[in-house]
């Protein structure tokens, strides 16, 4: 099955400093048909105004992936980590038994990012934090594994404590890429920019595509595009 979820159909929130689109139920947005997709629990498309951000707040028992595609976000947490995640960089935070962090846009311009939450395979474990720049995310290179908890995936990927992977690709207009999806597994993908067509289903930038029981995912770029795909059990 392929379920196309147009950007306009997502849950939207405007807090002034934060404009958010929720692919799944989150905060004040609740849709019983969009609670999760497999182990994928949250996919927020956030635009954060300059010199603003999220004050310190706690998390536990969640794998939290932040992918910045414009601007930068600064991270500070209760483990003593303090870093800046720029455009094209990916951060994984293992919330484990508990962590408190803040995410602030200290830049002079708006920051745009995806924040993706995946349920871990097991509760608990020490909290942790990883970050990496992926310079190999270029047109013609196919999908690049950004984060994974699956055996056999690239050692260059950030780690996940879940039977899941996050992959990304840049594709040129007219280019076709494919991803093999195992039986019973879930995939969810979004094009940050550019129109795409997923097995005959046309999608605009920032639309969500939920996929299950579909062995080969075939993606055609109608424009130059950047794609993020999450696969889970």
Q: Which domains does the chain have, with CATH numbers?
A: 9-133 (2.60.120.10), 144-232 (2.60.120.10)
Q: Could you tell me if residue 61 is left (phi over 0), alpha (psi between -120 and 50 degrees) or otherwise beta? A: left
Q: What is the pLDDT of residues 11-64, one digit of tens each?
A: 999 999 999 999 999 999 999 999 999 999 999 999 999 999 999 999 999 999
d(CA 43, CA 206): 11
Could you tell me the pTM of the whole model? Answer: 0.97
CA distances from 15 to 55, 62, 82, 206 (A): 14, 25, 25, 20
pLDDT of residue 126: 98
Residues of the chain below pLDDT 50: none
Contact 178/218 with Cβ under 8 angstroms? Answer: yes
pLDDT of residue 142: 95
């Amino acid at each position: 099955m392929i379920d196309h979820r147009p950007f306009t159909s997502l849950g939207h929130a405007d807090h002034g400093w934060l404009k958010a689109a929720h692919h799944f139920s989150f905060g004040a947005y609740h849709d019983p048909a969009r609670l999760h997709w497999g182990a994928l629990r949250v996919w927020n498309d956030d635009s954060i105004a300059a010199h603003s951000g999220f004050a310190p707040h706690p998390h536990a028992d969640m794998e939290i992936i932040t992918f910045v595609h414009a601007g930068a976000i600064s991270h500070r947490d209760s483990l003593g980590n303090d870093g800046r995640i720029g455009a094209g960089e990916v951060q994984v935070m293992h919330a484990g038994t508990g962590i408190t962090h803040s995410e602030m846009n200290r830049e002079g311009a708006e920051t745009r990012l995806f924040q993706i939450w995946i349920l871990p395979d097991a509760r608990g474990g020490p909290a942790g934090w990883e970050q990496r720049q992926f310079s190999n995310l270029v047109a013609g290179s196919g999908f690049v594994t950004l984060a994974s908890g699956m055996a056999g995936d690239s050692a260059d990927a950030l780690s996940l404590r879940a039977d899941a992977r996050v992959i990304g690709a840049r594709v040129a207009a007219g280019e076709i890429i494919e991803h093999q999806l195992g039986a019973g597994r879930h995939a969810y993908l979004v094009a940050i920019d550019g129109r795409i067509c997923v097995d005959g289903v046309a999608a605009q930038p920032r639309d969500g595509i939920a996929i299950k029981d579909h062995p080969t995912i075939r993606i055609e770029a109608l424009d130059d595009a950047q794609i993020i795909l999450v696969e889970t059990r």
